[in-house]
């Protein structure tokens, strides 16, 4: 497939994530106030979309509390900075097995399994313009943790999101996830225009080498809109790779804590670096108004 460089690019900033990063950098926001402030700074730096998780303000641990999501949503929308809000719906499918000899019972320390309605409840309350749908199950990182998203669960959540008028952003960690995403579209559970995020380099999904990345890209239908990111050391190379392959860009502290080797970044600095790369390639950064038009989003 010939490369088809994207000339009109939007940037998503993944503001804080759910990983164990809050203690690794003082710039990873914890409280709703800090998450919203970091999202707003990222928007000022050039991000058209902010992708937000919430954390326990005291411990920094990942949370699914609706009141925290509502506060983040209110603070971002009450600001004088326009940005498309994308909330995660990826939590509530965390399964940690006991050990290799006694996998059951599940380890209660970290296992968090919720039903479809509960997993989407904050989406129903906050009504972001976009929310994520992790489109498959995978061994995630090390140990005995499995990210679980069964076909029935994904069908139910996709329908709920679509019925709410919220655009699902399909998170694809491997080619099988793309295959199932196409099935959801075929069944009418996700409507056009389809938005997808290619999640590269996350153990043990698709590695972030260019051959694998292009295999993922080549499995994305040409009428879908895609974005891509990688984590860690290749995170800041992926804006160029994604734009060259025809996609959009995601950066942020969910994926990468560093601006350069040993230099901790803020979300705004990561967005600024992506802007420099994209504009240096001859592409144009588009803002939230054009993103809403492109993806047929309703401003809340």
Q: Is 290 inside any structural domain?
A: yes
Q: What is the pLDDT of residues 34-63, one digit of tens each?
A: 999 999 999 999 999 999 999 999 999 999
* List of residues 6+ apart from 146 with CB closer than 8 A: 95, 96, 97, 137, 138, 139, 140
Q: Is 105 inside any structural domain?
A: no
Instruction: Count how many Cα atoms sit within 13 Å of the Cα of residue 59 in the half-sphere of its side chain.
Output: 7
Q: What is the pLDDT of residues 76-114, one digit of tens each?
A: 999 999 999 999 999 999 999 999 999 999 999 989 999
Q: Is 107 inside any structural domain?
A: no
Please give the model's pTM, rounded to 2 decimal places. Answer: 0.95
Strands, E assignment, the chain: 8-9, 11-14, 49-52, 54-55, 62-63, 84-87, 93-96, 112-113, 130-134, 138-139, 145-147, 167-172, 195-200, 225-230, 248-251, 258-260, 263-264, 284-285
The CATH number assigned to the domain holding 48 equals 3.20.20.70
Place of tokens 């080549």: 218
Domain count across the chain:
1
Judged against a pLDDT cut of 60, whether residue 158 lies above it is answered with yes
The Cα–Cα gap between 133 and 90 comes to 6
The Cα–Cα gap between 224 and 295 comes to 10
Q: Is 33 inside any structural domain?
A: yes
The Cα–Cα gap between 135 and 182 comes to 10
Judged against a pLDDT cut of 50, whether residue 1 lies above it is answered with no
According to the model, what pLDDT value does residue 199 have?
Answer: 97
Place of tokens 């592409």: 283
Nearest C-alpha neighbor of 206 from the set 184, 227, 177: 177
The residue segments making up the domain with residue 248 are 8-91+120-134+151-295
Q: What is the pLDDT of residues 17-42, one digit of tens each?
A: 988 888 899 999 999 999 999 999 99
Judged against a pLDDT cut of 80, whether residue 225 lies above it is answered with yes
Q: Is 110 inside any structural domain?
A: no
Q: What is the pLDDT of residues 260-280, one digit of tens each?
A: 999 999 999 999 999 999 999
Q: Is 80 inside any structural domain?
A: yes
Q: Is 100 inside any structural domain?
A: no
- DSSP states along 186-238: HTTSSPSSPEEEEEES-TTS---SHHHHHHHHHTS-TTSEEEEEE-GGGTTTH
Q: Is 115 inside any structural domain?
A: no
Q: Which whole-number Å values give the CA distances from 38 to 27, 31, 42, 233, 271, in the listed order?
A: 9, 11, 6, 22, 11
Q: Are 85 and 125 in contact (CB under 8 A)?
A: no
């Amino acid at each position: 497939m010939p490369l088809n460089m994207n000339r009109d690019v939007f940037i998503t900033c993944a503001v804080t994530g759910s990983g164990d990063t809050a203690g690794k950098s003082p710039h990873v926001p914890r409280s709703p106030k800090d998450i919203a402030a970091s999202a707003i700074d990222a928007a000022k730096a050039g991000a058209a979309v902010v992708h937000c998780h919430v954390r326990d303000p005291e411990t920094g641990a990942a949370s699914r509390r609706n009141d925290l999501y509502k506060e983040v949503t209110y603070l971002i929308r009450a600001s004088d900075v326009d940005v498309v809000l994308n909330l995660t719906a990826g939590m509530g499918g965390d399964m940690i097995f006991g050990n290799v000899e006694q996998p059951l019972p599940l380890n209660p320390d970290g296992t968090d399994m919720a039903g479809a309605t509960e997993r989407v409840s904050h989406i129903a309350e906050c009504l972001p313009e976009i929310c994520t749908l992790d489109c498959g199950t995978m061994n995630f990182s090390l140990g005995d943790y499995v990210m679980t998203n069964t076909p029935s669960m994904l069908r139910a959540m996709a329908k709920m999101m679509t019925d709410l008028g919220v655009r699902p952003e399909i998170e694809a960690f491997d080619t099988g996830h793309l295959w199932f995403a196409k099935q959801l579209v075929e069944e009418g559970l996700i409507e056009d225009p389809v938005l997808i995020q290619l999640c590269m380099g996350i153990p043990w999904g698709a590695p972030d080498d260019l051959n694998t990345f292009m295999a993922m890209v080549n499995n994305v239908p040409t009428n879908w809109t895609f974005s891509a990111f990688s984590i860690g050391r290749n995170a800041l190379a992926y804006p160029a790779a994604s734009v060259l392959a025809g996609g959009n860009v995601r950066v942020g502290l969910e994926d990468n804590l560093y601006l350069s080797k040993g230099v901790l970044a803020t979300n705004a600095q990561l967005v600024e670096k992506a802007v420099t790369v994209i504009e240096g390639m001859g592409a144009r950064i588009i803002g939230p108004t054009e993103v809403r038009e492109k993806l047929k989003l309703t401003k809340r």
